Amino acid sequence: MTEDNNDNASGKRDHSSSDEAALSARLGSLDHRLSAIRDNRKIRTDQPGTESGDAAARASAMAIGFRLSSELVAGVVVGAAIGWGFDRLLSTSPFGLIVFLLLGFTAGVVNVVRSAGVSQGKR
């Protein structure tokens, strides 16, 4: 009966060692596949024009938006300032402010349209 127990114990050891070998092989295969995926992701993020290109495009679009909005605001502010100045000099309040504010708004819109490239002027 002791031989039976020794055979049974050695059978369990053989079975567990083959399970450990299979598990070790599977873990090695998984590690290899994960490292390949990590390397692939690293290569893709290092290349220009992928995710960093999207961020650059968004930053460029925001820069264009800020430039266009500042041109519109600048036209209105300059027109209002000129109108206020004329009103102070000529005592025509509020007509100079209203007229030049509208002219400044118009000039701002024209600048925005010109900068955005919407109007195609004849050359």
pLDDT tens profile 69-112: 999 999 999 999 999 999 999 998 899 999 999 999 999 999 99
Mean pLDDT of 45-69: 77
Question: Is 32 strand, coil or helix?
Answer: helix
Percent of the chain exceeding pLDDT 70 equals 76
Residues 28 and 70: their CA atoms lie apart, in Å, by 59
Write out the H or E segment, with its range, that includes residue 77.
helix 51-90
Average pLDDT value over all residues in the chain: 83
pLDDT at 73: 96
Residues 43 and 49: their CA atoms lie apart, in Å, by 12
Residues 79 and 103: their CA atoms lie apart, in Å, by 6
**CB within 8 A of 87, min separation 6: which ones?**
93, 94, 95, 96, 97
